[in-house]
Amino acid sequence: MKIAILGGTGNEGYGLGFRWAEAGHEIVIGSRLAEKGAQAAADMLAKLPDTARVSGTDNLTATQEAELVVLSVPYSAQEKTLATVTEALAGKLLVTVVVPLGEKAARVWRPPSGLSAAEEAQQQVGDGVRVVAAFQNISAHHLLDADNDVDCDVLICGDKGADKDVVAQLCADAGMRGVNAGPLQNAGVAEGLTSVLIGINIRHKIKNAGIRITGI
């Protein structure tokens, strides 16, 4: 699958792209500036086998080229980023990793809309784009170490089962277990857990606190 990662120069997007490229997917790293995307792609290729397919460009071009798009930008950049790519997203699946965080990252910050970042993204891009929220609770710390098992499940929130199945396969491809966590409306719970995990990391002086769903 050809996957565009908007904000793929950041730790989370870059780490996910690395794992998917290693699993055989074609990755397009998007950035606000094409040259930053290209540099990140060159850096990633240097860490991967010769067969890996990774390129970098600006966010709009990346979106136009891809079958599936991942949004991995700070919440403060979500609205502006989506405004530049909404037309190119038509008919595609958008997987959002975005989490609203307060000035102190370990504190939950709720958008004034009362919605989750994922729900706001769905409103912005419209019904012609299917939005799924996932990967909010994954620490980027070990993503670049493909031999490391990520000790965290991925909560997948979305309104169409088939779309969540696609994302669950992407979780498996990256060495993680995806768990269907219900409709997109539930995304706010997953987003809020990120602040909880950051606080645990700070208090215990670790970098990779995660969650596991038991009983399944």
Where do the domains of the chain lie?
2-204
User: What is the pLDDT at residue 107?
Assistant: 66
CB of 54 closer than 8 Å to CB of 45: yes
119-147 mean pLDDT: 92
User: What is the pLDDT at residue 143?
Assistant: 87
Cβ neighbours, 10 Å, residue 212: 9
Q: Render pLDDT for 71-103 as a digit per residue (tens, 0 to 9).
A: 999 999 999 999 999 999 999 999 999 999 876
User: What is the pLDDT at residue 15?
Assistant: 95
Which numeric CATH code is attached to 2-204?
3.40.50.720
**DSSP three-state, residue 33:** coil
> Percentage of the chain with pLDDT > 70?
97
The confidence band for 56, taking pLDDT boundaries of 50, 70 and 90, is: very high
User: What is the pLDDT at residue 108?
Assistant: 67
Residue 150 has pLDDT above 90, yes or no: no
CB of 153 closer than 8 Å to CB of 212: yes
**Overall pTM > 0.85:** yes
Q: Render pLDDT for 97-131 as a digit per residue (tens, 0 to 9).
A: 999 987 666 566 778 899 999 999 999 999 999 99
Q: In the β-sheet with 26-31, what is the strand arrangement from edge to edge?
A: 53-58, 26-31, 2-6, 68-71, 93-96, 130-133, 154-158, 178-180
Q: Render pLDDT for 151-197 as a digit per residue (tens, 0 to 9).
A: 899 999 999 999 999 999 999 999 999 999 999 999 999 999 998 89
